Amino acid sequence: MRFKKIKDQINDKYDALPKNHKVIANYFIDNFDRIPFLSVQNISEATGTSVATIVRFAQRVGFKGFLEMREEIGQNLQSLIQKKEIFTLVDSIELKNDTLTYVANQDIDNINDTVSLIDRKSFNASISTILKAERVFTAGLGISYLLSEILSYQLNQIGISSFNLRHDNSSFKEQLIYFGKNDILIVFSFPPYSVETIELARTANGKGIKVVAITNKNASPVTKHAENILIVSSKNMLYTNSFAAISVIINAITTECALKNKTKAKKTMDALNKIVAEQKLVIS
């Protein structure tokens, strides 16, 4: 069988899976590094599904059965561990009472997991959609609002007309009436998922506006209404979401857009730098 990362295989098949298979798929993705040490009975108990269902899930994803899938996950993890060497902290550091090291390691894991989770076809398609758009609107609530604002700011810095939907005098859906047919929407949706953000994506999608969703898993509610989905790991020791890996995706999107349209990006950045220089001159 042609080698492919297991998470990619699960993601590729996810939308077509039956509901009980999606439960198993979510468990595999969320506990990927534990699978090689679990029996099919362990997973059956954890997911509330039968052993036979887990075997059928493995077959549907592209394996002869659970044992073959578990074995390849083990091999896949060994490969990932080797690649992670550039992102490791010193193992000898005592983690007890060392929150800084613990949080740093967790964010390193988030970044590595995200690099593995991101579907490159979806990423490239998202870039293409952004570059073809007349205007790019970004949206989110809570910490997602701050992240959407950063993405909008960075896109403007490289010459892409972008606006962050504000949540003040009018609702997201009210602001949607100003969208044009060539505009796109990028939504950030992380636990606890905002109903208003999901409804915005649903309505935009229904109006034929292309939606790009940046979220934490394929099973998150907003993915049903997005043309392109970017999965980002945001695990945190607190109830909030870590934004380390999300920041990486924001930078990657902006950088790739700039590289795809170097002339426009350079022209915009030069103009902005000139304005900044003039302002400093006036102040001094």
Residue 59 is predicted with a pLDDT of 94
Residues 81 and 220 in one domain: no
In this structure, what CATH number is given to the domain that contains residue 192? 3.40.50.10490
Question: Do 57 and 197 lie in a common domain?
Answer: no
- Which residues, in sequence order, are bridge partners of residue 137? 163, 185
- Verify that 133 and 181 share a domain, yes or no: yes
Same domain, 56 and 134: no
pTM for the model: 0.69
Residue 8 pLDDT > 80: no
pLDDT of residue 237: 72
- Whether 91 is covered by a domain: the verdict is no
Boundary of a domain, candidates 61, 86, 111: 86
What confidence category does residue 81 fall into, taking pLDDT thresholds of 50, 70 and 90?
A: low
Structure tokens at 127: 């870039």
150 & 258 share domain: yes
Does 20 fall in a domain? yes
For residue 97, with 0-12 CB atoms within 10 Å meaning exposed, 13-18 middle and 19 or more buried, which class applies? exposed
In a domain, 31, yes or no: yes
Share of the chain above pLDDT 90, in %: 51
In this predicted model, which residue has the larger pLDDT, 44 or 116? Answer: 44
Looking at the structure, tell me whether residues 193 and 264 fall in a common domain: yes
Query: What would the two tokens of residue 172 be?
Result: 């997201």
Please check whether residues 137 and 261 belong to one and the same domain. Answer: yes
Q: What is the mean pLDDT of the chain?
A: 86
Average pLDDT over residues 124-139: 97
SS3 of the chain: helix, strand, coil, percent, to 5: 65, 10, 30
Q: 229 and 154, same structural domain?
A: yes
**Residue pLDDT, tens place only, 172-218:** 989 999 999 999 999 999 988 899 999 999 999 999 999 999 999 88
Q: Residue 282: what pLDDT?
A: 56
Encoded amino acid at 50, one letter: S
3-class DSSP assignment, residue 65: coil
Residue with tokens 């990657």: 252
Please identify which residue in the block is written with the tokens 């609107």. Answer: 137
* Euclidean distance between CA atoms 265 and 270, whole angstroms: 9
Q: Which pair of structure tokens corresponds to residue 74? A: 């083990």
- Domain region containing 54: 6-86
Structure-token match 């109006």, residue found? 207
The count of structural domains within the chain is 2
CATH number at residue 27: 1.10.10.10
Residue that terminates a domain, selected from 86, 110, 145: 86
The pLDDT of residue 260 is above 90: yes
- One domain, residues 60 and 129: no
- What SS3 state is found at 189? strand
Q: What confidence tens digit (pLDDT) does each residue in 142-182 have? A: 889 999 999 999 999 999 999 999 877 788 989 999 999 99
Residue 90 has pLDDT above 50, yes or no: no
Helix, coil or strand: residue 93? coil
Q: Is residue 215 part of a domain?
A: yes
Give yes or no: residues 69 and 202 share one domain: no
Residue 220 placed within a domain: yes
DSSP labels, 96-154: TT-HHHHHHHHHHHHHHHHHHHS-HHHHHHHHHHHHH-S-EEEE-STHHHHHHHHHHHH
Same domain, 38 and 131: no
Answer whether residue 113 is part of any domain. no
Bigger pLDDT: 111 vs 97 = 111
Question: What is the spatial distance between Cα 259 and Cα 48, in angstroms, rounded to a whole number?
Answer: 47
Q: Is the same domain home to 265 and 124?
A: yes
